[in-house]
Amino acid sequence: MHTVKRMFKPIHLVSMVFISLLVSWSPPQALAQLNYPSKPIRIIVPLPPGSTLDVMARSISYALGPNLGQAIVVENKIGANGSIGMDACAKASPDGYTLCLPDGNILTINPLAYEKLSYESQDFTPIIHIGDMEQSIVINSSVPAKNMKEFIEYAKSRPGQVTWGSGGRGSTMHLYMEWIQAKTGVSFNHILYKGPADLSRALTIGEVESSNLSTATVSPMVKEGKLKMIAVISGKQRSIHAGDATSFSDQGFDLDFRNWLALVGPKGLPPEIVKKWNLAVNGLLLDKAFTEKVLPSLAVTPAGGPSEDLVLQLERKKKLGQELAKIANLKAE
């Protein structure tokens, strides 16, 4: 479990002030002191029920709702790779009664992939970077490879024939495929699916040979012998969710473009509401029950920190996303 010292790097004054505030945090008071809320709160999730975003939002709702004295209602608004839900979020009143729980790609990559998108990342008020979703590169069990080196050799021997599935243009799966192609000279046959559920099914039956998905999603299939995990994408730290799988970076691949989760509100959300929600969610990320039960089931590594940290995260990932979009020749449609 991450300690406060690991979660909040004491490199600037904002973080140091934030830590002092967090020490005095307690769930019952964190939001109640504003006489807020006086009615139920809505958290918009732009992906379907059962997705990582959905489970995280419902877990936060369950944990914090009783302390608020009001219900926190999770509303799934799906479609257009998350854009429909975020459009509704951007247009909501900035009164604290509509918040949104998107992933990083929806915030930073969608504006690069969809020309008529009605929002950009600056159209939202950052509240907190919740955590990073660990991902794994997996192949169907019939593919004769045990690691990235062997898989790349296999794919090079069949140029344009080995299939790589993704959830759509600009998805994490798509951008990793493009980066690997540019890095190694291999050529995949890119197959599009509606989402992770359809892609997972296709992988297990051999309809598509390879992809990268959430470690939480693929781990049961790996245990059943339907898939092989040839690399885990967990940054520079060893995965606690993927068993003995070797990390992507340890195999000589330095891209860390894992997807991630954030809590945001409509543009213009009052600072006092931002602060209260930030402290409340940070409290969950320090709560043993939450970090040992909810986060491992989703293969999410907690992040946390002040809202300013989410601003920096958005800037970093937007820049990297632009570089990957260029590699992928990703143009807005």
Alpha helices by DSSP H, listed for 185-236, are 196-205, 215-223
- pTM to 2 decimals? 0.82
The Cα 206–Cα 322 span in angstroms is: 32
Residue that finishes a domain, picked among 227, 251, 275:
251
- Are 161 and 116 contained in the same domain? no
Say which residue the tokens 């990297």 belong to: 320
Residue that finishes a domain, picked among 199, 224, 251:
251
For β-strands 163-166 and 189-192, DSSP reports them as parallel
Q: Encode pLDDT of 45-56 as tens digits.
A: 999 898 899 999
Residue that finishes a domain, picked among 229, 251, 273:
251
What angle do helix axes 52-68 and 271-285 make, rounded to 10 degrees? 110
- Are 205 and 64 contained in the same domain? no
List the CATH number of the domain containing 28: 3.40.190.150
**Domain span including residue 272:** 4-133+259-327
- Are 238 and 264 contained in the same domain? no
Tokens of 207: 């309809």
Classify residue 266: in a domain, yes or no. yes
Position 20 scores a pLDDT of 42
Position 254 scores a pLDDT of 85
**Which regions of the chain are under pLDDT 70?**
1-34, 235-243, 332-333
C-alpha dihedral, 18 to 291 to 47 to 124, nearest 10°: 0
Q: Which of 176, 149, 116, 148 is nearest to 327 (CA)?
A: 176
- Are 93 and 142 contained in the same domain? no
